[in-house]
A and B are shown apart, each in its own frame.
Chain A
Amino acid sequence: GAVVSQHPSRVICKSGTSVKIECRSLDFQATTMFWYRQFPKQSLMLMATSNEGSKATYEQGVEKDKFLINHASLTLSTLTVTSAHPEDSSFYICSASDLGQPQHFGDGTRLSIL
């Protein structure tokens, strides 16, 4: 159980493009979803915490107008990287949890902006 599906797994696009990443909990209701970014050889960096039906809470230094998060249902959250630039190239990972339960991670999305 506790499967989290993330799509797409890989995106390559031109600078200025907006990219949407989906995160779905397949067999449980995720009251909370988390979005992380990880640069090569570095540790996970939490970007934002998203609770179903409410606005996401962003970590310090993360631009909320740049990284739009929507969590409209208990099984789906989306992250949109707006007007992406090469410095946004990274490995984006979502995780989901139900209240008090451990987080389960999606497989990640490798974003490359040319």
Chain B
Amino acid sequence: QKEVEQNSGPLSVPEGAIASLNCTYSDRVSQSFFWYRQYSGKSPELIMSIYSNGDKEDGRFTAQLNKASQYVSLLIRDSQPSDSATYLCAVFGQNSGNTPLVFGKGTRLSVIA
């Protein structure tokens, strides 16, 4: 059973701080990793993808991947109240063809003004 684990939160950070969201996965052969953001009452929106070990930066977002530790994280710099949402970690295995992404249950982030 492939599993993706996230702390459900809520994670509360003050405006301007760095928010750190963590995710672990069980399938060692997983190849592709994604972070989705879901606002309350809305559908998930893809915000980051990462495929190789190390860091990937996109604006205020940095995804970090460590395949040896089976760990992927998302850092949000200069957090804004508009970043308050649930962040879903998703993993795609090797040669998974058309099978669905495996999603974590999400971490709720609250940025306090």
| Chain A residues proximal to chain B, CB less than 8 Å | 2, 6, 31-32, 34, 43-44, 46, 49, 51, 91, 93, 97, 99-100, 102-108, 110
Q: Assess A102 versus B43: contact at CB under 8 Å? Given A43-B106, A44-B88.
A: no
Count of chain A to chain B residue pairs whose CB atoms are closer than 8 Å in the complex: 50
Residues of A within 8 A of B41 (CB): 91, 110
A49 touches B101 (CB 8 A): no
B44 touches A105 (CB 8 A): yes
* Sample (5) of A-B pairs whose CB atoms are under 8 Å apart: A32-B100, A49-B100, A102-B32, A102-B46, A105-B43
Residues of B within 8 A of A102 (CB): 32, 34, 46, 49, 90, 92, 101
Residues of A within 8 A of B106 (CB): 43
Q: Is B105 at the interface (CB under 8 A from chain A)?
A: yes
B61 shortest CB reach to chain A, Å = 15
Cβ-closest chain A residue relative to B36: A105
B43 touches A49 (CB 8 A): no
CA distance A109 to B71 in the complex (A): 33
Residues of A within 8 A of B60 (CB): none
B98 touches A32 (CB 8 A): yes
Known contacts A44-B103, A105-B45, then 12 further A-B pairs from the complex at CB < 8 Å, ordered by chain A residue: A2-B46, A6-B43, A31-B98, A43-B105, A44-B88, A91-B41, A100-B32, A102-B34, A103-B90, A107-B42, A108-B42, A110-B41
CA distance A91 to B43 in the complex (A): 9
Cβ-closest chain A residue relative to B105: A43
Which residues in chain B, 50-103, are within 8 Å of chain A measured between CB atoms? Answer: 88, 90, 92, 96-101, 103
A37 shortest CB reach to chain B, Å = 12
Most-contacted residue by chain A among B96, B100, B103 (CB, 10 A):
B100
A58 shortest CB reach to chain B, Å = 12
B13 shortest CB reach to chain A, Å = 21
CA distance A104 to B47 in the complex (A): 11
CA distance A95 to B34 in the complex (A): 14
